[in-house]
Structure 1
Amino acid sequence: MFKPDPKSSKYLAAFEPQQEEMRSRSISALKTLHEKASGRVKIRWNLRTGAVHSVRGLLTESQKGTAQDIADRFLSENHELFGISADVSELHFTSVEERRGVKHVKYQQHYRGLEVIGAEMTVHIDQSNRVQMVNGNYFPGIQVDLSTSSVSENTAIEATLQAIQTDEQPAAQTDLVIFPQGDQYVRAYKVTMKTKNPLGDWVFFVEASTGTLLDGYNAIRFVTGTGNLYNSNPERDDKIVTAKLSNLDESGSLSGTYFCVQNAEDGVGNATPTGPGSYDFLYADPANTHFDEVMAYYHLSKVAEFFRNLGHTEHVTPMPAHVHVPDPYTGNAKYDNAYYSAFENAIYFGHGETLNDLAKEAAVIYHEYTHSVIHAIQPFMATQEAGALHEGYADYFACSLTSDPKIGEFVVGQLGKEFLRDLRNEKTYEDYTGNSVHDDGEIWGATCWEIQEALGRHVADLLIYQSLWYLPQNATFADAYDAIVQADTILFDSDHLEELEQIFEEKKIIATTCKIVASASTGGNIVPSGTVSVNQGVDQTFTITPNTGYVIQDVLVDESSVGAVTIYTFTNVAASHTIKAMFALQNQGTYTVAVPGNTQWMDSGITINVGDVISFAAQGTVVYDSKGNSCGPAGASWTDTRDKKDPLWQKPHAGLIGKIQGIGSSFFIGSAYKVKAASSGKLLLGINDYWYQGNSGKFTVTIRVEKV
């Protein structure tokens, strides 16, 4: 839409308004999934619920059963990860769509029989019956009192009509739903209706108990464009060509298998054949009113065939397309707009007043049809950001078909402009405003165009189309990134991942990625392992586990010891790192472990029984203050008798200490020590320093346990 219209550009507020602390059970469930998954797992959290919004990777081995069986089983086994109830009873299976061997299994959340708006989850299963991605939203812990009385359906309809500001009395459909409102949930009427003035396919939500309007949007997709039987448009190429019109029916009009083109000009019928054949529509003068019909039919057929070649099979009935559409607000025969109506599954082109004829630019025709493709795959794109994606996708495919990053070159001719939008722009996600879906859509259109310039048109078109099947409801730019990366995983075995991540980083859609290389010696494992991509500013946790018969000897971060820790977290990652877990064989009761200076107590991994004789031999250096003072395991030459804050304040400061976990008392080890255990439990080692966090260095301790 060239001129913004507040009535037709309202979108739902995003369903993630605030951040909550992630649930510990979700983190625990993620660790379990890491351990079971065959490859690296990449996640994004739902900041509203604290559960996982998107998880992708090789999540399972090949499974038996139908796609729904596999999806049901995965959701049930990992219900805590998504915050779903154990029996998954509130997720209602809705459909299975298969594209290029990938099965997309969709579920809609219900609460006591009512649909929860914005709560859809999709499980994506590859050709080998392995789960490779799950995304979408589930809202746990919904509590809504459904016993209270509701206003009438007519009250909800009247509230919607007042919001639209129309005098019409259109047919309306109402359904009771659960609507997320901030951090609460309310029972609401979902009201849908179509009006001519103002023009709209309206979806509104009205609180059922009070009749208060909650939110709403217009499902019609508007753009500014042009189109006719030129190869592109009169500005770019003013030569009129004779082209093949395929898939016509026998009606003698511009109707066929996929489209039915109609002329809305007052007092003018539809185009008829001009001869010499029964299906020849050879209007030579572009000023002829029927010239636009031919242009629309030809280019709609072209873009539809383009998407069919990409695997799109959703449009199987003829789609109405109208040219010379008058202004629905004023009745003016010259209307400066074009739009796709999702309710009617129809496309409308105005003749233009301050703009040139919108049906005479092929890119506009391609743009509008792309809206219908997106809607067929993911119809719930109602937020501002999702609307911007809608426009960006439509611009991209329009420009890809014309091999020109500019759109609207002819349509804005009277305004003295060179084009309406240019996909070779410098916008990034930092320029996102949330005010105009068309302006913000340029960010996504430019991103897609850069993908084409980097990977070539064929690869980019296929990737970007296939990614539409991975979009959740009300997708964000980050969701769209996930979708394209997942499409690359399925179609090209992630061959283009590095180039894609670079583009998305430059466009600020994802944070700059840092690489953490995680490895382990013989005797145990580290999870996750291999090269792990982490966005700047994000935390990344690794879990270290020894095999039976082994203990953790040391963990090296960037080649420096952090001790024999079982968990290590890189916080606020700003650069690439390495982490390596070192394991030692339990050899006749002898162990070697590293104790970092910046820990007070750490688990040595050694279990002690009452009566065991433990011998210690330690070496190394720990720096214990900001002045650089240091000591060996025997500690410094002073004790903490003044403040008495050290664990063993009468023993040398910063020396090596130990205790048996549980009821055991602390004891000083120093450089060498031998003791008979008076209790049973894990052997803990530490530094005799209450202000240990700022220390550096480590002690290497050899421990021999003589069993009684």
Structure 2
Amino acid sequence: MVKGPSLVQWLCIFSAMGSAIGLAACAIGDNADGTTATRDRDRAVEVLQRQAGAPVTLEVNEAGISRVVAMAPRFSLAGHASDPVEAATGFLLDHHDVFQLSAADASSFVATRVDVEPRSDFRHITLQRTFNGIPVFQGAITVHMDPANAVFRAVGDDFYRIAEPTNRQLLTPADAATATVRAFGLPLTPAFAASEGLRTTFTATGALDPLTVEPRIFQVAPGDDRFAYQTTVSWLDDHKQQQYQLTLIDAQDGSSLASYSLVNTFTGRVFTATPGANPTTDTRVVVSFTGDPVASPSGWVDSTRKTRGNNVISATDLDANNTIGANEVQPTADASDAFDFPFSPIQDSSLFREAAVTSAFYLANNWHDRTYALGFTESAGNFQTSNFGRGGAQNDEVQQDVQDGSGLNNANFATPPDGSRPRMQMFLFTINGGVQEDGDFDPTVIYHENTHGLSNRLVGGGATTCLRALQSGGMGEGWSDWVAASFLNDPVIGAYVTGNATVGIRQFSMAASPFTYDDIKNGTLAEVHAVGELWAATLWDVRTALGAATTEQLVVSGMKLTPCNPSMLAARDAILQADVNLTGGANRCAIFGKFAGRHMGTGASSPSDSSTTTIVTSTAVPPECGGGGQVTRTFTSTDVPKAIPDNNATGVRSAIDVAPAGLDVQHVTVSVNITHQARGDLIIQVSAPNGQTATLSNRQGGKQNDFVATNLDITGSFTIGSPATGQWQLFVRDLARRNTGTINSFSLTITSSN
């Protein structure tokens, strides 16, 4: 799979001081052709800052793409149009240089999502980059505005800046459909079904759902943009497991440029003995199946009186073929319009299929209505057959397969783009020993799976492929666990299907988790479900401080503000921004305090959502929240050991790149380990990014061997407040003959005011 650039990001803060504007240019690496564009961008941000009247924060990736443009809390850029789409489009046209776009490029963006939050009236407008009318894959910019259409934040995907495609568009949609099934070795023959707008649909015997084909521009690498087709295909593999792939096919030669699985899978930790008590009595109660009149105006149950409606279609899938055949169970309400079927928790759940389908249908509909109230509406990409003219793409109700015959001890949810139907597969569980339990009776499992659809449809403007790396994928799992836990006020996930009331299907209850951000850095959490435990525990901490209702709203609103492929820190910042939008920032310190408790405080950084070793952790909170305002970080060279050339004035250098942007020097110590036969031959110096130098040794020590220093204070050699961000170097020269040596290690501990 071809992947985009890793999100090695620098944070550039443009600060206003009185009437003077101080501008700190973003360092984006050695881009030979980027100097002019960078200067234009910096000037454009300076103009934007003047108009906003407050600091503007700009986050870029390693390719120099502007990822996040954010106004300071409680500040925004006044809107100049009453229509939110016109306001968002006008912002992009007026400030196209901020995104290093030409005016012509900026005019090629079209609105693909208009989401107005029902409670706060905040607006989120996703503008899709196009080229000759063809959408650019992960090429959107989402503009976030307050109720007056004043812009306070804009979030860009990685690939909205493109060049003329390097290939030709020779293939037809039919060719792309054939290339897709060939890429996966599928015995399918696509047949044309329909064409609407840019989408062409094909049917194929053996495919679970129709194949879809849409033209796209896809960036293989910077400067290598291709005409492509985005295709989706779903099928059962040899193990009868659902596969659902979104693939980019080269429009010239039919090769596969990239492919993404759309299935999120819930996995289980197996126990051979049950540590907790199992239910022995049926405690179900009778509840309404009518649904919320705003979220579900046509109700949950359609005219068939079966477990199907506008939000969900539920039935067993015992044959594992994703169809409701003659052998499947789809209950019908009785004469009193009741879905009331027997169930016993001390017998195999496979004996109670009507009850299982009824339970799954209720839970999925209840989840739909609750998340609707939090802002997961039609315009935000939710799951409904009809959208009642309220925006978004329709005909994408959840297909819910109960007691699916393709597996055990599992569940999954496939989330295609808005307008394509998702599928949930629920399995029987044998973890508990003895009787078979069913995830359809466990609300935490249903809510977990549904929430994969929520996060995939909201993060990154609904690209559905934005949660695929270690941190972002872990947050996908963590969001799913946490929403389930919060809705049920129970921090244990999967207690019913495992019989374990203490930890359920995870390592810890999220209310008792010991994990911190350090556990990602040191490799303790190296898999997405494990990483998800940290994210869920952090959100549970916030919920404990703020309460369920407030935190649920902040989390869902924060997803909408979260960029594609986020780190945990990017998602944290989105929650903080959501709090500014909804409460004016009343909960800022409480939120920061809980994140700092998990070592994601104000001084933490993570250049990439897939990064581990480059993570910097912090327990600091902002000064206004009682923090000291200084953060200490340690940076270690990765280019050693290095040999020291004998009698050579050129010498040898070891380098450390200090990030993120905006760090200054308040205190510096150095640790060095050099082995040498005569350290009196050596001149040893450390230089800062601004060129200032500290001399550690100038041919001192005579014929003594080696030079070792631990936490040597060299602060006095540097100007307090000077830039710490950038490259620091250890410079060693040997000015005498016959003796040789090696730089073994070099590290710096830098204290900054932020």
Listed as ranges, the matches of 1:486-525 within 5 Å are 486-509=577-600, 510-511=604-605, 512=618
Show the counterpart of 2:50: 35
Change (3 A) 1:426 1:25: farther
Matched residue type, 1:307 = T
Listed as ranges, the matches of 1:279-290 within 5 Å are 279-286=338-345, 287=349, 288-290=352-354
Looking at structure 2, the residues matched to 337 and 625 of structure 1 have their Cα atoms a distance apart, in angstroms, of 59
Change (3 A) 1:237 1:477: farther
1:472-492 per-position Cα deviation (integer Å, ceiling 9, x unaligned): 334443332232111101111
- Say if 2:545 and 2:590, in contact at 8 Å, map to a contact too: yes
Show the counterpart of 1:366: 447
- Say if 2:413 and 2:450, in contact at 8 Å, map to a contact too: no
For residue 142 of structure 1, the aligned residue among 162, 165, 173 is: 162
Question: Is 1:222 equivalent to 2:265 in the alignment?
Answer: yes
Show the counterpart of 1:582: none
- What percentage of aligned pairs have identical amino acids? 20
Change (3 A) 1:279 1:31: same
**Alpha-carbon deviation of 1:195?**
1.4
Question: Is 1:94 equivalent to 2:180 in the alignment?
Answer: no
For residue 94 of structure 2, the aligned residue among 73, 77, 81 is: 77
SS of residue paired to 1:453: helix
**Alpha-carbon deviation of 1:217?**
1.0
Looking at structure 2, the residues matched to 490 and 442 of structure 1 have their Cα atoms a distance apart, in angstroms, of 27
Query: Could you say which structure has the higher strand fraction?
Result: 1
SS of residue paired to 1:120: strand
Looking at structure 2, the residues matched to 138 and 571 of structure 1 have their Cα atoms a distance apart, in angstroms, of 23
**Alpha-carbon deviation of 1:120?**
0.9
Looking at structure 1, the residues matched to 179 and 414 of structure 2 have their Cα atoms a distance apart, in angstroms, of 26
Show the counterpart of 1:66: 83
Looking at structure 2, the residues matched to 212 and 72 of structure 1 have their Cα atoms a distance apart, in angstroms, of 35
Change (3 A) 1:14 1:476: farther
Question: Is 1:428 equivalent to 2:536 in the alignment?
Answer: no
Show the counterpart of 2:366: 302
Looking at structure 2, the residues matched to 410 and 309 of structure 1 have their Cα atoms a distance apart, in angstroms, of 27
**Alpha-carbon deviation of 1:163?**
4.4
Show the counterpart of 2:283: 240
Looking at structure 2, the residues matched to 415 and 493 of structure 1 have their Cα atoms a distance apart, in angstroms, of 39
For residue 452 of structure 1, the aligned residue among 522, 526, 543 is: 543
Looking at structure 2, the residues matched to 91 and 458 of structure 1 have their Cα atoms a distance apart, in angstroms, of 36
Question: Is 1:406 equivalent to 2:497 in the alignment?
Answer: no
Looking at structure 1, the residues matched to 76 and 440 of structure 2 have their Cα atoms a distance apart, in angstroms, of 48
- Say if 2:4 and 2:158, in contact at 8 Å, map to a contact too: no
Looking at structure 2, the residues matched to 695 and 481 of structure 1 have their Cα atoms a distance apart, in angstroms, of 33
**Alpha-carbon deviation of 1:458?**
1.6
Q: Which has the larger Rg?
A: 1
Looking at structure 1, the residues matched to 312 and 165 of structure 2 have their Cα atoms a distance apart, in angstroms, of 48
Question: Is 1:344 equivalent to 2:344 in the alignment?
Answer: no
Show the counterpart of 1:182: 221
Looking at structure 2, the residues matched to 625 and 426 of structure 1 have their Cα atoms a distance apart, in angstroms, of 41
1:497-521 per-position Cα deviation (integer Å, ceiling 9, x unaligned): 122223334434444467689xxxx
Change (3 A) 1:141 1:94: closer
1:73-126 per-position Cα deviation (integer Å, ceiling 9, x unaligned): 222222211112134223223232100211111111123433221111111110
Matched residue type, 2:481 = D
SS of residue paired to 1:312: coil
For residue 463 of structure 2, the aligned residue among 376, 380, 399 is: 380
Looking at structure 1, the residues matched to 171 and 310 of structure 2 have their Cα atoms a distance apart, in angstroms, of 46
Show the counterpart of 1:662: none
Change (3 A) 1:25 1:245: same
Looking at structure 2, the residues matched to 456 and 478 of structure 1 have their Cα atoms a distance apart, in angstroms, of 22
1:274-296 per-position Cα deviation (integer Å, ceiling 9, x unaligned): 67x34241314354222212221
Looking at structure 2, the residues matched to 43 and 236 of structure 1 have their Cα atoms a distance apart, in angstroms, of 54
Question: Is 1:263 equivalent to 2:281 in the alignment?
Answer: no
1:386-412 per-position Cα deviation (integer Å, ceiling 9, x unaligned): 433322211110011121111122323
Matched residue type, 1:400 = S
- Say if 1:488 and 1:495, in contact at 8 Å, map to a contact too: yes
Aligned pair count reads 521
Change (3 A) 1:167 1:92: same
1:405-451 per-position Cα deviation (integer Å, ceiling 9, x unaligned): 11122323499984335324233344447964323222322221121
Change (3 A) 1:223 1:54: farther
- Say if 1:115 and 1:177, in contact at 8 Å, map to a contact too: yes
Looking at structure 2, the residues matched to 532 and 40 of structure 1 have their Cα atoms a distance apart, in angstroms, of 21
- Say if 2:414 and 2:453, in contact at 8 Å, map to a contact too: yes
**Alpha-carbon deviation of 1:183?**
2.7
Looking at structure 1, the residues matched to 4 and 78 of structure 2 have their Cα atoms a distance apart, in angstroms, of 35
**Alpha-carbon deviation of 1:130?**
1.5
Matched residue type, 1:269 = V
- Say if 1:335 and 1:352, in contact at 8 Å, map to a contact too: yes
Looking at structure 2, the residues matched to 417 and 138 of structure 1 have their Cα atoms a distance apart, in angstroms, of 38
**Alpha-carbon deviation of 1:461?**
0.8
Looking at structure 2, the residues matched to 311 and 242 of structure 1 have their Cα atoms a distance apart, in angstroms, of 29
- Say if 1:514 and 1:536, in contact at 8 Å, map to a contact too: no
**Alpha-carbon deviation of 1:204?**
1.1
SS of residue paired to 1:407: coil
**Alpha-carbon deviation of 1:220?**
2.3
Change (3 A) 1:364 1:149: closer
Looking at structure 2, the residues matched to 65 and 533 of structure 1 have their Cα atoms a distance apart, in angstroms, of 41
SS of residue paired to 2:103: coil
Looking at structure 2, the residues matched to 362 and 479 of structure 1 have their Cα atoms a distance apart, in angstroms, of 29
- Say if 1:514 and 1:573, in contact at 8 Å, map to a contact too: no
Quick check: 107-116 or 138-147, which moved more?
138-147
- Say if 1:79 and 1:86, in contact at 8 Å, map to a contact too: yes
Cα RMSD (Å): 4.0
**Alpha-carbon deviation of 1:694?**
6.4
SS of residue paired to 2:356: helix
Matched residue type, 2:403 = H
Change (3 A) 1:185 1:451: farther
For residue 124 of structure 1, the aligned residue among 130, 144, 158 is: 144
- Say if 2:162 and 2:225, in contact at 8 Å, map to a contact too: no
Matched residue type, 1:69 = E
Show the counterpart of 1:208: 251
Question: Is 1:108 equivalent to 2:122 in the alignment?
Answer: no
Looking at structure 2, the residues matched to 456 and 479 of structure 1 have their Cα atoms a distance apart, in angstroms, of 22
Looking at structure 1, the residues matched to 376 and 214 of structure 2 have their Cα atoms a distance apart, in angstroms, of 31
Matched residue type, 2:313 = C
Looking at structure 1, the residues matched to 121 and 628 of structure 2 have their Cα atoms a distance apart, in angstroms, of 28
- Structure 1's unaligned 5+ residue stretches are 1-10, 227-232, 518-530, 539-568, 577-623, 627-691, 697-708
